[in-house]
Structure 1
Amino acid sequence: MAKMAAKRHRLESTLTVGATELQRFRLHAPARTMPLMEPLRQAAEKLAQAQADLSRC
């Protein structure tokens, strides 16, 4: 019985830590992705222009 309780405690602890890490990731994700938005927008614009230029040929 003690073995099962210890295993349950380890599992609950692991799940709690995992949930905390996911919450932290969710909170920090926008700050990490925001600097990428403008370069991605510019790249998409260049790609669209290149595709438009190619379609005229």
Structure 2
Amino acid sequence: MKVSLDQLEAVESSLKLMRLELERLGAVNQLALSHYAEQISRYKELSIRMNELG
């Protein structure tokens, strides 16, 4: 596969922008999605118990 110089420059530019955006984001909690799922599950359990009591 041949890549032109213009295509290579465009890809390098996009990559540079993406790296800058990642740096701006800073640290991201990798476990957030898992914790969210746990909280949803807990909420459902408590909702069921409340309905059974009320």
* TM-score range normalised by the length of the shorter chain: 0.3 to 0.5
Give the number of the structure whose residues are more often helix, by fraction.
1
